[in-house]
Homo-oligomer: A and B are copies of this chain.
Amino acid sequence: MAKADLEATYRAYIAVLNGRRFDKLVKYVHDRITYNDEPMTRQQYESLLAGDVRAIPDLVFQIRTLVVQRQEVACRLWFECTPQHEFLGIEPTGASIAFAEHVFYEFENDKIKRICSLIDRGAVEKQLRRT
């Protein structure tokens, strides 16, 4: 797949997340993936995402920096949101927070096969504990 196509595919995947159309994940994510080096089924990955949006109903994935090469996508995602339930093990306080996620995806035949993600947990913690 050409680079422009992979970028378009990734943007469509993010639109699916923001539209909460998790039924469409099958188009973008393999049946079996690894997430931070742990094996995971697409169903488990979907549960993870569903849990995040239950905890944070106004969660929007904003692409800040997107770097695409061969079958690799690296994205700096940005979130501005108000957690309603526990997120990353941290209780909500009603505060709105902003934080980054830096994530690397390896695609195989146009679908995500491997995800390595780091979330700025320190920023989340700091902003929720401050209030």
Contact residues of A with B, CB < 8 Å?
3, 65, 67-69, 72-74, 76, 100-104, 106, 116-122
Alpha-carbon gap, A104 to B106, bound state (A): 17
Please give the count of copies of this chain that the complex contains. Answer: 2
Alpha-carbon gap, A28 to B124, bound state (A): 32
Chain B nearest CB from A59 CB (Å) reads 18
What residues of chain B lie closer than 8 Å to A106, measured between beta carbons?
65
Alpha-carbon gap, A99 to B120, bound state (A): 15
Query: Is there contact, CB below 8 Å, between A103 and B104?
Result: no
- Given A100-B118, A116-B102, answer yes or no on A73-B65 (Cβ-Cβ < 8 Å): no
Per CB-CB distance, the 8 closest pairs between chain A and chain B, nearest first, are A74-B74, A102-B102, A67-B74, A118-B118, A102-B118, A67-B67, A67-B69, A67-B72
